[in-house]
Amino acid sequence: MKDKRLYSPKYVREILNRYGFQFTKSLGQNFLIDGNIVRKISEEGNITKEDYVLEIGPGIGTLTEELALNAKKVVAIELDKNLFPILDETLNNYNNVEIIHGDILKVDIDKIIKEKLAGGPVKVVANLPYYVTTPIIAKLIEEDLNIESIIIMIQKEVAHRIIASPNNKQYGSLSIFVNFYTNPEILITVPKTVFMPKPKVDSAIIRLNLKKDLPQVDRKIFFQVVKAAFSKRRKTILNSLSSSSLGLDKEQVKEVLKTSNIPLEARAENLKIEDFIKISKTLPSLDIY
């Protein structure tokens, strides 16, 4: 059984050949072939026999198997139908795993948690398909789901953008978006050699600690302001906000910035989340909303 663990490159190759499986690059199919990383992801999730786990994109079941060994129940959502006969074989020994066919961006996660994962709270653990990393993260953190923790492997460069602080080149709307809802941390970086096929980029395992109390602000206005500010990140905040879809003229933006105690010559990348919150709270007083 031991040498038959799914992270053995020899076994992965054998099983893929036997089923005539062809990787679909556009689905971000890079399967793990390193036992240490598979264990590390599961360990970081602190998965115990009490836990309900939601996995996104099980592939041939490599991480799923590790999660099934540790969790009470695992539900994994996979888009590629061609993987289902393989998963039937590789996860045959585990009666605490359920694979659902679907697109994670389209399925009703709340319903799945309620109907198949005892209502949660669930731990989300996944080696994400990289072409949809941001929309998946957005769905997980915005939808007010009963999620206890999120441990995901993503592209290293995206992980650095997520954790970036103000005054840093990588700081931008993604950093603000994720930090609005969570406290993110990079756990380890992972070389491309642990995947089959080998991707072009390195990866990182990150944890998103969901905030219990979100900042009190109108989110629609807040994210509109952030988007407008970073759409022209080289300009001063005065110029970017006054030439944006917010429909404000320069005098109005000046007034807002003064009230919010933000220097007129600041740029988007100099502003903290709290500064964008201050701007967003001041805007409605202009009577344009």
* Residues in touch with ligand SAM (CB under 6 A): 27-32, 56-59, 62-63, 77-80, 83, 103-105, 127, 129, 132
CA dihedral 104, 107, 108, 111 (to 10 degrees): -100
Maximum CA extent, the chain: 71
Minimum CB separation of residue 280 from ligand SAM in Å reads 32
Residue number of the CB closest to ligand SAM reads 57
Contacts of 104 (CB under 8 A, 6+ apart): 56, 57, 77, 79, 132, 136, 139
Q: Specify the residue for token string 């006054």.
A: 242
One-letter amino acid of 47:
I
The residue among 195 and 222 lying less far from ligand SAM, judged by its C-beta, is 195
Minimum CB separation of residue 223 from ligand SAM in Å reads 23
Q: How far apart are CA 190 and CA 195, in angstroms?
A: 10
The residue among 132 and 246 lying less far from ligand SAM, judged by its C-beta, is 132
**DSSP category for residue 134:** H
Over 76-113, what HEC string results?
Answer: EEECCHHHHHHHHHHCCCCCCEEEEECCCCCCCHHHHH
Minimum CB separation of residue 163 from ligand SAM in Å reads 21
Tokens of 75: 């539900």
Minimum CB separation of residue 93 from ligand SAM in Å reads 18
Question: How many other C-beta atoms are found inside a 10 Å radius of the C-beta of residue 270?
Answer: 15
Q: How far apart are CA 72 and CA 97, in angstroms?
A: 9
One-letter amino acid of 16:
L
The residue among 77 and 277 lying less far from ligand SAM, judged by its C-beta, is 77
The residue among 98 and 218 lying less far from ligand SAM, judged by its C-beta, is 98
Q: How far apart are CA 170 and CA 230, in angstroms?
A: 12
The residue among 28 and 184 lying less far from ligand SAM, judged by its C-beta, is 28
Minimum CB separation of residue 79 from ligand SAM in Å reads 4
Minimum CB separation of residue 209 from ligand SAM in Å reads 22
The residue among 164 and 208 lying less far from ligand SAM, judged by its C-beta, is 208
The residue among 30 and 240 lying less far from ligand SAM, judged by its C-beta, is 30
* Run of H or E residues at 70: helix 62-70
The residue among 42 and 182 lying less far from ligand SAM, judged by its C-beta, is 42
Sign of the alpha-carbon torsion through 109, 110, 115, 118: positive
